[in-house]
A and B are shown apart, each in its own frame.
Chain A
Amino acid sequence: MGLLSLGAILEGPSKEKLMAILSTAIETIMGLYTDDSRKVRETVAWFFSKVAQNHPEMIGNETVFPVLYNLI
């Protein structure tokens, strides 16, 4: 999976372009939080920490925040 690579490029490109990509991918990525593999779940958590660092508004919105909150 390329989540590591996507997480690595969250700083650098323009917000608009990243938002366009993230908004389509974020649901799929949240789905991976319940993956059987611990490594995958770890990567998802790491990915959201990167999103929170660079694009906090993405995490704070109405669709993403409740899901993340429930997962903790």
Chain B
Amino acid sequence: MQNTVTAGIDVGSGAVKVVVMEFTDGTPKVLSQISSRIRKRDIADVVNEVMAQATAASGVAAIDYVATTGEGEDIPFATGHFYGMTTHARGALFLEPTATAVLDAGALHARAVAMDPRGKVLNYKMTSQCASGSGQFLENIARYLGVSQAEIGPLSLQADRPEKCSGICAVLAETDVINMVSRGVSTSNILRGIHESMSGRFARLLRSLEHGPVIFMSGGLAGDVGLVKALEDEFAALKAPTGPPPRIAPHPDSIFAGALGAAIWGEFRHRKLGAAAPAWKAA
């Protein structure tokens, strides 16, 4: 029986996610997965802290391959680094085997990735530099409205008359929100308006490539039920000429998709390269 242990470290702009996986004759099993918000701390410190927690929780004494993704290129104990879209595509297939595309919506940007059933990236598109389609923007708005992150989605679902806001510029959108508050628009309708604006952008991204029938949502925004609903409604309203709208597939572990993909590709590389000294050992 061949056992390989790998770790995937996804350094995002808002959080660090670490996954430790064990592969027995190639069959993967997640041993631990831990994330932590960066919150103005030194990224290296956060990585070390989350890695220590994840390895302790997994109970492993050594890791064969430590794979990084996202902004994790400089992690000193890494074996290899994979680009974000490569890992999110593979992580999506692990969590949702029928996925044909990924919408990775994170703190600072969003990207749409189309892949084949092996996880090979076929095409991708990213949002431009404006922050209006990002989790950070949504978080800022929630703070202005005095709403916690966990409340954003459920509140958005309660909206009855959503207010449109700028989908192009975060500065204009913030001005729109201030105007809405002063006009007495309800928090639910404001949040749903923002979700509609964001989902419009995301749908355009996805439609610019052949996304297929199942779109997996990864990144920090995947857990926002209001955004998922707005995206489903956006596609339903488009009345695509060919077939039904795609299924939007969030997952409770969506936030770990990049780290999972990195760990899985790490096992692949470890197998391809042959046995080598462990990349990490317990102190």
Q: Do A and B come from one complex?
A: no
- State the B residues within 8 Å of A (CB): none
- State the A residues within 8 Å of B (CB): none
